[in-house]
């Protein structure tokens, strides 16, 4: 049934809608709506869920258990071990990414023939999906067919099974992750290097500054905040990684490479301890939020300091 | 007069070094691409074969499946998966950029009280581990019938890309010179005209960067796609994982072919918009 | 310690930015490179500094050929147009930065810092960072960073161009004082003639990579070597009127026929005696040298007042003789009205005669 709206009334609503004060909120509304439905709402739901003992594979009604899930998680030694593993992987990988990324940026900070093409080559790791990287790095690490063992065999007898030992497995994962994301750090640092005004270097040349002093006084301040950004962003992301680890080592051998994220997945989809997994998930979220705050703070400082 | 931000030139020596480095980085990827052209024995050969007779069989297998008797072949659904990936990622990121641009404009030009707080909250949605929301979303989708269809995953991916779009596009808007908009308004342009005719054209490159960046992030997404797409809407990463699992020895040739094909569009788009990407990565805090 | 350029040339592809120029700057002398944008003055400065390679020719500092030396080896001090202050260092740290390469003791550095800070009045801002400074303060720090050293020469690239008019006036005087205390050759690049006229011992006027004239400010102003210099130096711009010499008259006077039909009868000095009759020349006279009369005279042009621009203590009047816009500057008290018919007189000894672009005969000193 159509209702003809008198023109004035229609105009009134549209006018109200289009008024300048409402303009801002109106434009933001679609975004907020989507985010709310897809992110905030599920977030709240699962937060609530963590206070129950919901198990996804059982049909019965979940009981309210208060903070028991959180308690259980926090007092679980295994969980702390997972945190340690996670810290180790995240720390090593991010450090490696920083160093290599920085060196790459220094390399690409000048214009030279074929620069564009070569930079694309270096950027390709980032473009692969985690699954692809996982699958093929697993192949490379394979003792019988893998490239790595073949290479090692050139110098050393016997097959080399990188993933058989905990240290090896950790190294394998760290290597894969660092390989994938050091180009990202490179991009960040490069953006900083490239934005340094040329005349500052000229002034330093006139002032007869040594290379080290030049770096310390001019270059480093420009990339300092970007490096920090890189560290925080990569830390947060590496914290969350799951696919690569799961595919390459499945958290093994044993639990040597099982990070928190993998643990959560295992809890949720293999043990079906849904609520427990969400509790753990929320602890992760808390850590991530703290890190994000730091990240935002540094971004803000960066924009204010923009020289 | 020399440009202020000239990065200076270096010679072929540096090219050589960069070539070596680039090769080292690219090598694992190169190997994948090579494997795509290898027969099964070649792919797993020890010592690893750098030179071999290439075959297109793997690529053929991606698209066609020969029946066990060997004489008839049937198209696989790979074209569908490919299409799904392109369609879903492309549409979702596009939507996100559009919605994000509107919101970014509001945050930039009509700032509200607590602007920063809203922006922070928006950003946190990006930062949380997927695991936390996957169950509720899965249940939500099942209840509303969105699971397995296009709309559900599209909406989800759009939500993924919105925070980042808003942040990035807002930084672009912030950089615009408001005097141009004022001048347009004084010439009688309505606010819509100012938005579409003055602001958007200036940040077109930035929007392109935002789009590419979002595309890269969404293209390879696996976890949510795994749980929320159905047979019709499956994306390539999921299809790849399915090819992997359930077989005794993975057919690396086939997998390599898939990865290679999947890499091409992203590689292409990145190459075209290399410069804008630099900007996107730093969230617009560095001017070039 | 002097600076010598012989045939210095700089090319960018097919463009010749600096075309075989010769320059000499003595110890303690201040030379200004003056000219419009793109004339090559900054490039020349950078060649002396070592920031640009000299393609041809020689550059000598203190008698030593420096063509193949890097900037850091030449021991020159340079103050940049955009100041180039290190953003992460405080003013004090910026000032002493060049001294690190000299291996001085802490005490020596402190002494030098104190001296410079006092001369340029930087004491209050020593702990601030460049991002917190005003333009004028930044400029003084940039200058300070140069003079804290004892280099072979001082180079300044557009030192005052980023300051507003009032600040420029103040700084001009301050810098001149500072420069007088230095005993090294100094080269200043500027596009502002007032700066050049005030601060320089000698001015080199440049155009399209070449030097048009090198002379003291007074000479450059009073005896411009060619049309370009004549039109470039002096505000308001010198009036340049194309004319034809009708024929030498009696008693050392010549009649010049101006476009539009009017004629001027002017003194011709000895230098102009060789001009053949019918020669095409350009007459140049500065606005402040023209007199406004209510009655016609032999050496005046009749014209109408088109526009009057009050300039405070003076008034700029635009006169039109039917063909040309003639600018006249008079004392503000002179009564003028737009549309009024007046006569612009070319007093004896104040007109320059240019033949074939170059100055042939010049009048004596004109008023500034």
Tens digit of pLDDT for each residue in A27-39?
A: 888 888 888 888 8
Distances (CA, A) of A216 to A63, A210, B91, C172: 60, 10, 46, 35
Q: pLDDT value at position B244?
A: 66
Rounded Cα distance between C187 and C32, Å, is 6
Of A27, A108, A129, the CB nearest to B103: A27
Strands C280-285 and C352-355: antiparallel
Residues in C closer than 8 angstroms to A307, CB to CB, are 87, 131
Nearest Cα neighbor of A200 from C87, B129, C91 is C87
C222 belongs to a structural domain = yes
Structure tokens at C230: 């004549």
* C179 and C244 fall within a common domain: no
Q: pLDDT value at position B2?
A: 32
Last residue of a domain, one of C171, C194, C227: C227
* C213 and C339 fall within a common domain: no
Condensed to tens digits (0 to 9), the pLDDT of residues C4-54 reads 999 999 999 888 999 999 999 998 899 999 999 889 999 999 999 999 999
* A123 and A23 fall within a common domain: no
Answer whether B28 sits within 8 Å of A243, measured CB to CB.
no
Answer whether A242 sits within 8 Å of B223, measured CB to CB.
yes
* C207 and C338 fall within a common domain: no
Answer whether B129 sits within 8 Å of A115, measured CB to CB.
no
* C104 and C200 fall within a common domain: yes
Q: pLDDT value at position A20?
A: 64
Condensed to tens digits (0 to 9), the pLDDT of residues C168-180 reads 888 888 888 888 8
Number of independent structural domains in chain C: 2
> Does B1 score more than 70 pLDDT?
no
Q: Give the E-state strand segments of C170-273 in sequence order.
A: 186-190, 202-207, 210-215, 239-248, 253-258, 263-267
Answer whether A23 sits within 8 Å of B191, measured CB to CB.
yes
CB-based contact (8 Å) between A196 and chain C?
Answer: no
C36 belongs to a structural domain = yes
A63 belongs to a structural domain = no
C367 belongs to a structural domain = no
Number of independent structural domains in chain A: 2
* C219 and C307 fall within a common domain: no
- Mind listing the domains of chain B with CATH numbers? 12-75 (no CATH), 78-281 (1.10.3720.10)
> Does C361 score more than 80 pLDDT?
no
* A266 and A125 fall within a common domain: yes
A211 belongs to a structural domain = yes
Listed by number, the residues of chain C in 129-158 with a beta carbon closer than 8 Å to a beta carbon of chain A are 131, 145
* C287 and C210 fall within a common domain: no
* C154 and C19 fall within a common domain: yes
> What is the pLDDT confidence band of residue A137, given thresholds at 50, 70 and 90?
confident
Of B21, B120, B266, the CB nearest to A296: B120
C40 belongs to a structural domain = yes
A181 belongs to a structural domain = yes
> Does C155 score more than 90 pLDDT?
yes
Of A197, A203, A207, the CB nearest to C101: A207
* C116 and C187 fall within a common domain: yes
C338 belongs to a structural domain = yes
A124 belongs to a structural domain = yes
Tell which phi-psi region holds residue B203, choosing left (phi > 0), alpha (psi between -120 and 50) or beta.
Answer: alpha
Instruction: Give the DSSP H/E element, type plus range, for residue C91.
Output: helix C91-96
> What is the pLDDT confidence band of residue B5, given thresholds at 50, 70 and 90?
very low
> What is the pLDDT confidence band of residue C364, given thresholds at 50, 70 and 90?
very low
Mean pLDDT of chain A: 77
Rounded Cα distance between B207 and B97, Å, is 7
Residues in C closer than 8 angstroms to A199, CB to CB, are 80, 82, 84
Nearest Cα neighbor of B88 from B34, B40, B182, B152 is B152
Closest Cα of chain B to A187: distance in Å? 6
Answer whether B267 sits within 8 Å of A120, measured CB to CB.
yes
Domain span at residue A45 reads 7-49
Percent of chain A with pLDDT over 70: 82
CA B107 vs. chain centroid, Å, equals 25
The whole-model pTM stands at 0.74
* A187 and A237 fall within a common domain: yes
Q: Hey, which of A187-191, A202-206, A272-276 has the most confident mean pLDDT?
A: A202-206
Nearest Cα neighbor of C85 from C124, C128, C117 is C128
Closest Cα of chain C to A224: distance in Å? 11
Q: Mean per-residue pLDDT for C326-330?
A: 91
Domain span at residue C255 reads 239-361
* A143 and A267 fall within a common domain: yes
> Does B154 score more than 60 pLDDT?
yes
Q: Mean per-residue pLDDT for C202-211?
A: 93
* A98 and A16 fall within a common domain: no
CB atoms within 10 A of CB C73: 11
Q: Is this complex's ipTM strictly greater than 0.90?
A: no
In this structure, of A244-248, B261-265, C303-307, the range with the lowest mean pLDDT score is: A244-248
* C337 and C282 fall within a common domain: yes
| SS3 at position B37 | coil
CB-based contact (8 Å) between A289 and chain B?
Answer: yes
Rounded Cα distance between B191 and B188, Å, is 9
Q: pLDDT value at position B196?
A: 85
CB-based contact (8 Å) between A83 and chain B?
Answer: no
Condensed to tens digits (0 to 9), the pLDDT of residues B40-99 reads 777 777 667 777 777 777 777 777 766 555 555 666 777 888 888 888 999 999 999 999
Q: pLDDT value at position A30?
A: 85
A59 belongs to a structural domain = no
Q: pLDDT value at position C58?
A: 92
Torsion sign across C-alpha atoms A104, A109, A110, A112: positive
Of B8, B107, B263, the CB nearest to A110: B8
Answer whether C71 sits within 8 Å of A205, measured CB to CB.
yes
Percent of chain A with pLDDT over 90: 6
Residue pair A126/A183 in contact (Cβ under 8 Å)? The answer is yes
Q: pLDDT value at position A17?
A: 61
> Does A225 score more than 90 pLDDT?
no
Rounded Cα distance between B29 and B22, Å, is 11
* C203 and C267 fall within a common domain: no
Of A24, A111, A127, the CB nearest to B8: A111
> What is the pLDDT confidence band of residue C365, given thresholds at 50, 70 and 90?
very low
Condensed to tens digits (0 to 9), the pLDDT of residues C261-305 reads 788 877 766 666 677 778 888 888 899 988 888 888 878 888 889
Q: Which is higher by pLDDT, A235 or B91?
A: B91
Q: pLDDT value at position C30?
A: 92
Q: Mean per-residue pLDDT for B128-153?
A: 77
Burial (CB count <10 Å: 0-12, 13-18, 19+), residue B11: exposed
Mean pLDDT of chain B: 77
Q: Mean per-residue pLDDT for A140-151?
A: 77
Structure tokens at C138: 């930044």
CB-based contact (8 Å) between B16 and chain A?
Answer: no
* A75 and A217 fall within a common domain: yes
> What is the pLDDT confidence band of residue B287, given thresholds at 50, 70 and 90?
very low
Last residue of a domain, one of C198, C227, C256: C227
Q: pLDDT value at position B82?
A: 85
Q: pLDDT value at position C223?
A: 86
CB-based contact (8 Å) between B133 and chain A?
Answer: yes
Of B4, B162, B287, the CB nearest to A34: B162
Residue pair C96/C112 in contact (Cβ under 8 Å)? The answer is yes
Answer whether B19 sits within 8 Å of A118, measured CB to CB.
yes
A158 belongs to a structural domain = yes
For chains A and B, what is the number of CB pairs under 8 angstroms?
Answer: 291
Q: pLDDT value at position A57?
A: 62
Answer whether A208 sits within 8 Å of C101, measured CB to CB.
yes
Q: pLDDT value at position C366?
A: 27
Closest Cα of chain A to C291: distance in Å? 50
A62 belongs to a structural domain = no
CB-based contact (8 Å) between B274 and chain A?
Answer: yes
Q: Mean per-residue pLDDT for C98-108?
A: 89
Mean pLDDT of chain C: 87
C256 belongs to a structural domain = yes
A141 belongs to a structural domain = yes
- Closest-CA residue of chain C to A200: C84
CATH number at residue C297: 2.40.50.140
* C297 and C157 fall within a common domain: no
* A45 and A80 fall within a common domain: no
Burial (CB count <10 Å: 0-12, 13-18, 19+), residue C201: middle
- Closest-CA residue of chain A to B130: A240
Q: pLDDT value at position B53?
A: 76
Answer whether A203 sits within 8 Å of C51, measured CB to CB.
no
Last residue of a domain, one of C202, C227, C252: C227
Rounded Cα distance between C283 and C265, Å, is 12
Closest Cα of chain C to A75: distance in Å? 47
* C195 and C311 fall within a common domain: no
């Amino acid at each position: 049934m159509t209702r003809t709206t008198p023109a004035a009334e229609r105009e009134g609503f549209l006018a109200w809608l289009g008024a300048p004060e409402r303009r801002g909120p109106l434009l933001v509304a679609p975004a907020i709506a989507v985010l709310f439905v897809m992110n905030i709402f599920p977030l709240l739901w699962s937060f609530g869920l963590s206070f129950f003992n919901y198990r996804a594979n059982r049909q019965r009604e979940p009981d309210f258990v208060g903070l028991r899930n959180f308690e259980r998680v926090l007092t679980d030694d295994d969980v702390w071990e997972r945190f340690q593993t996670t810290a180790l992987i995240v720390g090593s990988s991010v450090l490696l990414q920083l160093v290599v990324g920085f060196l790459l940026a220094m390399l690409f900070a000048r214009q030279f023939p074929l620069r564009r093409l070569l930079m694309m080559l270096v950027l390709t790791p980032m473009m692969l999906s985690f699954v692809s990287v996982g699958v093929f790095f697993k192949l490379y690490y394979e003792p019988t067919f893998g490239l790595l063992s073949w290479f090692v065999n050139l110098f050393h007898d016997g097959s080399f099974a990188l993933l058989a030992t905990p240290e090896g497995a950790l190294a394998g994962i760290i290597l894969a992750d660092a390989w994938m994301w050091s180009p990202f750090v490179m991009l960040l640092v490069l953006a900083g290097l490239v934005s340094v005004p040329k005349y500052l270097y000229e002034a330093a040349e006139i002032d007869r500054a040594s290379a080290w002093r030049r770096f310390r006084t001019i270059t480093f301040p420009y990339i300092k905040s970007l490096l920090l950004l890189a560290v925080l962003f990569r830390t947060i992301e590496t914290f969350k990684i799951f696919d690569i680890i799961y595919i390459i080592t499945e958290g093994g051998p044993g639990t040597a490479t099982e990070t928190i994220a993998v643990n959560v997945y295992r809890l949720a989809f293999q043990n079906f301890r849904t609520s427990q997994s969400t509790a753990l998930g929320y602890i992760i979220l808390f850590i991530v939020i703290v890190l994000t705050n730091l990240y935002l703070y540094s971004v803000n400082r960066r924009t204010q300091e923009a020289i | 007069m020399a440009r202020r931000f000239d990065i200076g030139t270096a010679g072929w020596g540096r090219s050589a070094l960069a070539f070596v480095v680039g090769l080292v980085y690219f090598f694992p990827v190169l190997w994948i691409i090579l494997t795509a052209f290898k027969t099964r024995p070649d792919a797993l050969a020890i010592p690893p074969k750098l030179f071999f007779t290439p075959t297109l069989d793997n690529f053929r297998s991606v698209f066609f499946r020969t029946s066990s008797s060997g004489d008839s072949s049937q198209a696989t659904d790979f074209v569908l998966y490919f299409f799904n990936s392109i369609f879903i990622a492309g549409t979702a990121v596009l939507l996100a950029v559009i919605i994000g641009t509107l919101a970014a404009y509001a945050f930039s030009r009509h700032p509200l009280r607590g602007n920063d707080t809203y922006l922070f909250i928006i950003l946190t949605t990006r930062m949380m581990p997927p695991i936390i929301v996957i169950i509720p979303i899965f249940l939500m989708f099942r209840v509303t019938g969105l699971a397995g269809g296009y709309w559900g995953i599209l909406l989800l991916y759009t939500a993924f890309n919105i925070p980042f779009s808003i942040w990035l596009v807002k930084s672009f808007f912030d950089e615009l010179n408001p005097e141009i908009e004022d001048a347009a308004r004084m010439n009688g342009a309505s606010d819509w005209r100012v938005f579409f005719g003055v602001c958007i054209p200036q940040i077109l490159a930035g929007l392109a960067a935002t789009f590419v960046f979002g595309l890269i992030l969404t293209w390879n997404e696996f976890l949510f796609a795994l749980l929320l797409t159905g047979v019709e809407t499956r994306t390539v990463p999921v299809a790849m994982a399915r090819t992997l699992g359930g077989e005794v020895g993975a057919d690396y040739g086939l997998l390599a072919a898939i990865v290679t094909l999947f890499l091409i569009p992203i590689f292409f788009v990145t190459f075209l918009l290399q410069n804008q990407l630099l900007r996107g990565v730093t969230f617009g805090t560095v001017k070039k | 310690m002097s600076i010598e350029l012989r045939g210095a040339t700089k090319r960018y592809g097919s463009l010749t930015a600096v075309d075989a120029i010769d320059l000499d700057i003595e110890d303690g002398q201040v030379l200004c490179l003056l000219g419009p944008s793109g004339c090559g003055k900054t490039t020349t400065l950078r060649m002396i500094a070592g920031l640009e390679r000299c393609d041809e020719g020689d550059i000598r500092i203190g008698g030593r050929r420096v063509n193949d030396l890097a900037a850091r080896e030449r021991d020159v001090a340079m103050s940049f147009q955009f100041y180039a202050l290190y953003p992460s260092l405080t003013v004090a740290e910026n000032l002493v930065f060049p001294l690190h390469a000299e291996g001085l003791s802490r005490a020596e550095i402190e002494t030098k810092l104190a001296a410079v800070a006092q001369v340029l009045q930087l004491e209050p801002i020593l702990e601030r960072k460049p991002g917190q400074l005003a333009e004028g303060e930044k400029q003084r720090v940039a200058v300070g960073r140069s003079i804290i050293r004892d280099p072979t020469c001082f180079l300044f690239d557009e030192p005052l161009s980023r300051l507003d008019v009032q600040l420029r006036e103040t700084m001009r005087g301050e810098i001149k004082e500072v420069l007088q205390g230095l005993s090294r050759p100094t080269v200043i690049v500027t596009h502002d003639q007032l700066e050049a006229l005030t601060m320089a011992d000698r001015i080199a006027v440049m155009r399209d990579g070449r030097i048009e004239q090198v002379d003291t400010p007074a000479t450059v102003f009073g005896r411009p070597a060619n049309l370009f210099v004549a039109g470039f130096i002096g505000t308001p711009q010198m009036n340049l009127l194309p004319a034809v010499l009708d024929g030498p008259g009696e008693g050392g006077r010549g009649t010049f026929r101006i476009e539009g039909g009017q004629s001027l009868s002017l003194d011709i000095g000895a230098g102009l005696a060789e001009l053949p009759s019918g020669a095409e020349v350009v007459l140049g006279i500065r606005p402040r040298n023209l007199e406004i009369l209510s009655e016609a005279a032999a050496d005046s042009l009749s014209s109408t007042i088109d526009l009057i621009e009050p300039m405070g203590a003076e008034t700029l009047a635009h006169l039109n003789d039917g063909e040309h816009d003639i600018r006249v500057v008079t004392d503000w008290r002179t009564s003028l009205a737009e549309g009024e018919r007046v006569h612009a007189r070319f007093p004896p000894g104040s007109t320059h005669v240019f033949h074939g672009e170059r100055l042939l005969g010049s009048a004596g000193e004109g008023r500034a």
